[in-house]
Chains A and B, each alone.
Chain A
Amino acid sequence: MSIVLDTLLLSFLIVCAVAVARTRDLLSAIIIYAAYSLIMAVIWLQLEAPDIAITEAAIGAGVTTLLLIATISKTRREE
């Protein structure tokens, strides 16, 4: 069970990381990056580090996404 879940999560992580680099639309890239952080938080939980998981969910999926969206609202959306 845990092996299957870990394999699934890690493959999602690799797919998200490649998709962030290949997306031309910057807003889509930010949303995919938030999904990457969320998957990473679940992986931290699987690694029995719930403290880091909470911090990753708050910083990676929350603050970083909001700061990057604020940056996009000041600049252009297309690359």
Chain B
Amino acid sequence: MEDLIVRTISRTLVPFIQVYGLYIILHGHLTPGGSFSGGAVLGSSMILFALSFNLERGAKKLSHDASTVLECGGILIFAMLGFYGILAGTNFLTNLKAGFYPGVPGEFFSAGFIIFITVALAFKVASTVITLFYNLIETEGEAHD
């Protein structure tokens, strides 16, 4: 799909989509939305870039291997935050009793480790969406177009 209009619009629009996705992720404990919605927005922005340009330029921004590493790293951070609760002497995924910073309710820095979990799972969802797209488009045999 080599189209000037699609390329120009998507090149202009992709940073705004990514900023909106980061806003949804970082305010996941205050406003509607969270890791799944924000991660899907982030992943679809990368898919839009790779689909409007060719696949090589998209893979230069975020390769298949990098998205695989990001996917495993997100769930690893989630599991480590969960096991920190056991190390602190309480249950798996214990939030405030394990000694995380409670903050002021309603402020940005609040709710303990919810924001770290949201960021980790958002990166996992985003890289899952990107990996799904790469697996679909990278099969052998050229596109008919």
Q: Which A residues lie at the B interface, using CB under 8 A?
A: 50-51, 53-55, 58-59, 62-63, 66-67, 69-71, 73-76
Contact = CB atoms under 8 A, between A and B. Distances in A.
Contacts of B51: 66, 69-70, 73
B112 interface: no
B85 interface: no
A58 B136 contact: no
Nearest to A77: B144
B44 to A, nearest CB: 4
Contact of A71 (B40, B44, B136): B136
B33 A63 contact: no
Contacts of B133: 66-67, 70
B87 interface: no
